[in-house]
Amino acid sequence: MNALPLAFGAPYLLAGLLVLPVIWWLLRVTPPRPVLEIFPPLKILAQLKQKEETPNKSPWWMTLLRLLLAAFIILALSEPVWNPRLETMSGKEPVAIVLDNGWSSNEEWTARKETAERLISDTQSDGALIYIVGTAEKANTDIGPFDANTALERLRALTVRPIPVDRSQAFARLKAVLADTKGTRLAYLNDGVDEPRAAEAIKSLEGSGIASMIWYQPSIASLVAIRQATNNANGLTVRIVRSSIDTSRNVVTVGAFDEKGRRIADTGIAFNAGETAAEGVIAAPYELRNDFHSLRIDGTAQAGATYLIDDNNKRRRVALLSGSEADLSQPLLSPLYYISRALEPFADLLRPRNSELIRAVPELLEQKPSVIIMADIGKLPAETEQTLSDWVNKGGTLIRFAGPRLAGGSEEDPLLPVRLRKGERSLGGALSWKEAQPVASFPSNGPFAGLPTPQDVTVSRQVLADPSSDLFEKSWANLADGTPLVTGETRGRGQLVLFHVTPEATWSNLPISGSFVDMLHRIVSLSSNAGTIAQDSGANSARALPPYLTLNGDGALMPPNQDTKPLITSGSNLSVTFENPPGFYGVEDAMTALNLFKPDSEINPLARPELNFPVTTARYAVDESIPLRGPLFALAAALLALDALAIIWLGGHLRRRLRTTAAASLAILLLPALIAFAPSPAQAQQNDSKPGDQAILDAINVTHLAYVITGDGPTDDISKAGLLGLSKALADSTALEPGDPIGVDPARDELAVYPLIYWPVDADANMPSSEAIAKINAYMQQGGTVLFDTRDQDAAAFNLDNSTTPSTQRLRDILSGLNIPPLEPVPGDHVLTKTFYILQDFPGRYRGSPLWVQASLNEDRRSDRPVRAGDGVSPIIITGNDFAGAWAIDANGAPLLPTIPNDPVQRVHAFRTGINIVMYMLTGNYKSDQVHVPDLLLRLGN
């Protein structure tokens, strides 16, 4: 032992200090540089005799400075280490070495092992017996006594376990072994982290024959752990905790890793001063978030800083589909509004970018939603239906909501859990004897079991299920009168759910109640993959999950070792033990994460208890060794800088000129940077035009009427001539001056730029492709209008056997693929009768076929209203009167085809009909509002 706790790595280098006197002598004889002085009377000076020939000495302080510099460098090269170690273990009495090898020991494990090794080597000469105890070891591990060599082997075999230490068990065993020995000296190398039974366990050592104790306690200032990670709408919220005495570690970075250990996201979390807990959000897209497998705090190597994430933590993706156009100006009437408000907090919502169902559904399915919600979609294209059906069978959950379209849809819809009756039931209305119905308490066998019965929810309209034997089992929620409100069915591995009301508040107030949120939450959480414990947690059966991957002491995932046992999931009380270290349990597709930290865990420092035998506090040797090499070199460097400054000063080189040149050179250095950052001339605008842009621009610069090219030459010619004639008539009579009519192919062309598409139905032409139907469907949903013309009134009028004409049949075929609202013939007070001309009859070449439009919403007719109020424009108009034939004109403006009967007045009326239709398209319900203007003016006048 040295008198000073100072050791040298290369002591022979200290001999270099002998050189110092030589350096001193050398420094004394070297004169400093003379000061240069301009002196005009030099000739006079030259007459003086030189008196003193020896040069001036360096100032004494400069000599000292340089000697110190040399001394520091020599000292630094000899690698001094400041290392106090005072406690030894020499003596013949037995020695017990207890090591904490729990999760928090890992980062300083080498130092602890070295300390223990030194203690063992201290005892070697005296041959004392040694006990080695790890506090995180299996209960039946052999703890000694050993001789020094075996003890060293035992010590080296000890590893850090990613589990909390069990001091009471370890000390109990030690006490049992030491029962009949006296004077044992105990060295407790603990990890400094408190646990609930620590004080009690250490206290129990009193009276066990232990004579003294050396207490090694490390600083736990750098310990930090993740205790919870939860998914929410913005990202993954991570809660971390640090040791309560910590002041240094204020900011940590948490990285998220995927299954293969790749780092895919991270976030920085800062502890507030004086707080031991902090939380932060890893903001990442949910696709990325679902790939999170584990979280780890950067710069740590212990199990507490690793947090494992299993499938239960993943957010569900819910796709939303709606049958009606999304009206952004009236969000409360949008069918998906309440659904998205209800689901946003706990699910990620997907909306299709494409409005055509045939494309939207595959697009959504590509994003792998757990749930698809369809609001009032009555008719699905056959392909889509098949796709969805396959998806449900593979485990998807399809939730549908009723509505006018569904009510009017076909009875045989395979994507419904129950058969529906045609039409809807209205309760509490003027024509109904029944009151609006409240909701009965949820059946105990359904998924809503346990939810509180909604008290304030009433249903005034619903679609009715056809009674069947299994209806009761399929009913998840009922009205007070027993009719089902929500029905569900398991289809394959997936589920079909139908809400018998609309998703907005028109049919019932369920969507604006809290129960709606709970119900959707239940269904969405049910949609998780089979095999996770979320579905099994309700059942009381305990399951044994085999270990899949477990953490090691470094916090890395490893295959389980032979000590690891299956995890028994009885209830939620999963604890980390020696047999169940933290890790993933289960099988690859359905893993359960067992984490070291619980959401309320803390890291507290271990307090040294008062014991009835002497306790010495010591420090881990390596903890305290301070290498002095670096500071000494730094000191030498500082002296060197001082010396350089002194030389410059003595030489008289510190002039103001230096400063000015420095400023000038700085300016020169900065100049290129300034030039580089100067704003560059405006860059040429990027050309991002795409092919076809010009056609679209042409189509929207001027309003054009459009017709569908059927492929039948004469028909298309007539369509074109007819729309040309109508355009001319419009230009003559109205403010609208349409451009030339344009023929479109619904399968290829962009339809959204045309307000009205005229579709002459031709039985001889090819049936439009499903793609074309899908596009027409989307066009109608987005606010466009299609005018179907079967041109068969002449045939229909003489059709005595009431059979349909080929054109009408073809029209039905086309419409069967379209998602169309209920229709009605134009009522006498429809706005179409008065948009430009007052009309009650809509003739074309023929007269007599009714004009079909979308049925108005409120059917209660009021005689005092001059016109029906209504929102939007009918997306579909159907006639059989061959409008285009009546409108068609040749190049001279003369009509091409005679009207039947040949009556000029009928042609005039046909044009008026066309003008009214176009005005209706372009102005919407403006005209129906206009009729109120006299009343409004009257009111204003009053």
Partner 1 sequence: MAAIGAQVQKTGTGDALARARQRAALLPDLLVEARRILNTVNTGWHGRRKSGVGESFWQFRPYTEGEAISRIDWRRSARDDRTYIRDQEWEAAHTVWLWADPSPSMLFKSEQAQASKESRALVMILALAELLSRSGERIGFPGVTDPTSARNGAERLATSLAHAGNLSAKPDLSRIKRFSEVVLVSDFLDPVDETIATLEKLAHSGARAHLIEVYDPAEEDFPYRRRTEFVDPETGSSLTFGRAEDYADGYRRLFFARRAALSDFCKRIGWSYTTNRTDRLASEALVSVHMNMTANVGYQGGAS
Closest CB to partner 1 among residues 18, 44: 44
Closest CB to partner 1 among residues 47, 248: 47
Instruction: Show the tokens assigned to 151.
Output: 């003890």
DSSP-assigned letters across all residues of 379-427: ---HHHHHHHHHHHHTT-EEEEE--HHHHTS-S--TTSSS-EEEEEEE-
Is 746 in contact with 711 (CB distance < 8 Å)?
A: no
User: Comparing C-alpha atoms, which of 797, 881, 878 is closest to residue 846?
Assistant: 881
Run of H or E residues at 225? strand 224-231
Kindly state the smallest distance separating residue 25's Cβ from partner 1, in Å.
Answer: 19
- Residue 133 carries which DSSP code? E
Kindly state the smallest distance separating residue 56's Cβ from partner 1, in Å.
Answer: 4
> Which position among 5, 32, 492, 806 is part of the footprint of partner 1 (CB under 8 A)?
32
Kindly state the smallest distance separating residue 34's Cβ from partner 1, in Å.
Answer: 4
From CA 664, how far away is CA 99, in angstroms rounded? 65
Piece in contact with partner 1 (CB under 8 A), picked from 22-30, 48-56, 411-419, 883-891 = 48-56
> Which position among 9, 21, 31, 183 is part of the footprint of partner 1 (CB under 8 A)?
31
From CA 476, how far away is CA 799, in angstroms rounded? 50
Is 593 in contact with 310 (CB distance < 8 Å)?
A: yes
Closest CB to partner 1 among residues 41, 941: 41
Binding-residue pattern over the window 797 to 836 for partner 1, x denoting contact by CB under 8 A: ----------------------------------------
> Which position among 1, 12, 18, 40 is part of the footprint of partner 1 (CB under 8 A)?
40
Kindly state the smallest distance separating residue 64's Cβ from partner 1, in Å.
Answer: 19
Looking at the DSSP bridge assignments, the partners of residue 758 are 707, 787
- Binding status of residue 55 toward partner 1 by CB under 8 A: yes
Q: At a CB cut-off of 8 Å and minimum separation 6, what does 627 contact?
A: 79, 80, 81, 82
Kindly state the smallest distance separating residue 51's Cβ from partner 1, in Å.
Answer: 6
Cα three-residue angle 203-208-211, rounded to 5 degrees: 90
Kindly state the smallest distance separating residue 45's Cβ from partner 1, in Å.
Answer: 6
Collapsed DSSP state (helix, strand, coil) of residue 55: coil
> Which position among 48, 669, 684, 735 is part of the footprint of partner 1 (CB under 8 A)?
48
User: Comparing C-alpha atoms, which of 623, 618, 624 is closest to residue 217?
Assistant: 618
Kindly state the smallest distance separating residue 647's Cβ from partner 1, in Å.
Answer: 12
- Binding status of residue 47 toward partner 1 by CB under 8 A: yes
Is 865 in contact with 825 (CB distance < 8 Å)?
A: no
- Binding status of residue 51 toward partner 1 by CB under 8 A: yes
How many CA atoms within 13 Å lie on the side-chain side of 340? 15
From CA 498, how far away is CA 465, in angstroms rounded? 10
Closest CB to partner 1 among residues 39, 798: 39
Cα three-residue angle 905-909-915, rounded to 5 degrees: 145
- Binding status of residue 429 toward partner 1 by CB under 8 A: no
Closest CB to partner 1 among residues 34, 482: 34
Question: Pairing between strand 742-744 and 437-438?
Answer: unpaired
DSSP-assigned letters across all residues of 428-439: SSTT-SSPPEEB
> Which position among 652, 692, 711, 866 is part of the footprint of partner 1 (CB under 8 A)?
652
Question: Pairing between strand 316-322 and 371-375?
Answer: parallel
Closest CB to partner 1 among residues 48, 539: 48
Q: Which residue has the tokens 């000899």?
A: 78
Closest CB to partner 1 among residues 61, 433: 61
Kindly state the smallest distance separating residue 641's Cβ from partner 1, in Å.
Answer: 20
Looking at the DSSP bridge assignments, the partners of residue 615 are 213
From CA 52, how far away is CA 54, in angstroms rounded? 6
Piece in contact with partner 1 (CB under 8 A), picked from 130-138, 153-161, 652-660, 792-800 = 652-660
CA 729 to chain centre: 57
Kindly state the smallest distance separating residue 639's Cβ from partner 1, in Å.
Answer: 22
> Which position among 1, 12, 50, 894 is part of the footprint of partner 1 (CB under 8 A)?
50
Kindly state the smallest distance separating residue 58's Cβ from partner 1, in Å.
Answer: 11
622-651 residues in contact with partner 1 (CB under 8 A) are 649-650
User: Comparing C-alpha atoms, which of 240, 264, 268, 237 is closest to residue 252?
Assistant: 268
Closest CB to partner 1 among residues 655, 690: 655
Closest CB to partner 1 among residues 53, 600: 53
Closest CB to partner 1 among residues 51, 260: 51
Terminal-residue alpha carbon distance, the chain: 111
Kindly state the smallest distance separating residue 22's Cβ from partner 1, in Å.
Answer: 24
> Which position among 1, 3, 4, 35 is part of the footprint of partner 1 (CB under 8 A)?
35
- Binding status of residue 863 toward partner 1 by CB under 8 A: no
Kindly state the smallest distance separating residue 654's Cβ from partner 1, in Å.
Answer: 8
Cα three-residue angle 375-381-383, rounded to 5 degrees: 120
Closest CB to partner 1 among residues 34, 692: 34
> b/e map of 681-702 (b: 16 or more CB within 10 Å)?
eeeeeeeeeeeeeeeeeebeee
Question: Pairing between strand 294-297 and 277-282?
Answer: unpaired
- Binding status of residue 514 toward partner 1 by CB under 8 A: no
Question: Pairing between strand 251-257 and 461-465?
Answer: unpaired
> Which position among 45, 273, 684, 838 is part of the footprint of partner 1 (CB under 8 A)?
45
- Site size for partner 1 (CB under 8 A): 30
Piece in contact with partner 1 (CB under 8 A), picked from 27-35, 784-792, 802-810, 896-904 = 27-35
Binding-residue pattern over the window 655 to 694 for partner 1, x denoting contact by CB under 8 A: x---------------------------------------
Kindly state the smallest distance separating residue 646's Cβ from partner 1, in Å.
Answer: 11
450-489 residues in contact with partner 1 (CB under 8 A) are none
User: Comparing C-alpha atoms, which of 532, 434, 423 is closest to residue 479?
Assistant: 434
Piece in contact with partner 1 (CB under 8 A), picked from 36-44, 125-133, 244-252, 730-738 = 36-44
Closest CB to partner 1 among residues 37, 180: 37
> Which position among 52, 180, 366, 801 is part of the footprint of partner 1 (CB under 8 A)?
52
Kindly state the smallest distance separating residue 666's Cβ from partner 1, in Å.
Answer: 24
> Which position among 3, 46, 678, 940 is part of the footprint of partner 1 (CB under 8 A)?
46
User: Comparing C-alpha atoms, which of 756, 759, 771, 746 is closest to residue 715?
Assistant: 759
Closest CB to partner 1 among residues 530, 647: 647
Sign of the Cα torsion 764, 770, 775, 780 reads: positive
Kindly state the smallest distance separating residue 47's Cβ from partner 1, in Å.
Answer: 6
Piece in contact with partner 1 (CB under 8 A), picked from 39-47, 370-378, 752-760, 808-816 = 39-47
Is 5 in contact with 84 (CB distance < 8 Å)?
A: yes
Closest CB to partner 1 among residues 643, 824: 643
Q: How many CB atoms lie within 10 A of CB 263?
A: 11
From CA 724, how far away is CA 737, in angstroms rounded? 11
Looking at the DSSP bridge assignments, the partners of residue 210 are 184
- Residue 879 carries which DSSP code? E
Q: Which residue has the tokens 């002196």?
A: 39
- Binding status of residue 61 toward partner 1 by CB under 8 A: no
Instruction: Show the tokens assigned to 269.
Output: 């979390």
> Which position among 2, 3, 12, 37 is part of the footprint of partner 1 (CB under 8 A)?
37
Kindly state the smallest distance separating residue 49's Cβ from partner 1, in Å.
Answer: 8
Binding site for partner 1 (CB under 8 A): 31-48, 50-56, 649-650, 652, 654-655
